[in-house]
Amino acid sequence: MIRFVTDNEKMTFEAGCAFGARLKGGAVIAIDGDLGAGKTVFARGIAAALCVEGHVVSPSYTIINEYEGKIPFYHFDLYRLNDADELLGIGFYDYLESAGVCAIEWASKFKDELPSTTIWVKINRIDETKREITIDGCEL
């Protein structure tokens, strides 16, 4: 298990970046935490490590945003989805099997749909600006 404690947005971005630098194509990252915890900020760090160009925006309305990079980056937010049929509709399982990196916010809503190799990132809000980030399922 890896643990980071961050005091501001930049540190969470950098934690995502340090973590993302170790990822290989095909990795599936589940990012959990409450609204405003910093899931999207952490995902932006992963994207930066993959040399994604342009701004990574929250996929909360689009559900999935795709980016080109050193490795393709697929960024999901499953908050608005309610059943697994909807995952099929957005091609979720194809993305999981692709050679890209998938980062999935609110993944715990669909735990059973994720591969056993999923790396779990949990972001806990300690106070207004302090976050605890724990990562399970990967040796870094």
Cβ 139 to Mg ion shortest distance, Å: 27
CB neighbour list of residue 61: distance below 8 Å, 6 or more residues apart: 80
CA distance 24 to 22: 7
- Contact set for Mg ion, span 24-63 (CB under 5 A): 39-40, 58
Least distance from ligand ADP to the Cβ atom of residue 34, Å: 7
Distance, CA of 62 to CA of 135 (rounded, Å)? 26
Q: Tokens at residue 6, please?
A: 């961050």
- Interactions with ligand ADP, residue window 34-93 (CB under 6 A): 35-41, 58
- Cα-flanking dihedrals φ and ψ of residue 76, to 5°? -110, 150
User: If contact means CB under 5 to 8 A according to the sort of partner, which of Mg ion, ligand ADP, none does residue 36 touch?
Assistant: ligand ADP
8 touches ligand ADP by CB under 6 A: yes
Q: Kindly state the number of chain residues that form the binding site for Mg ion, as judged by CB under 5 A.
A: 4
User: Of 62, 79, 74, whose CA–CA distance to 26 is shortest?
Assistant: 74
Rounded least distance, CB 38 to Mg ion, Å: 8
- Could you say whether residue 122 binds ligand ADP (CB under 6 A)? no
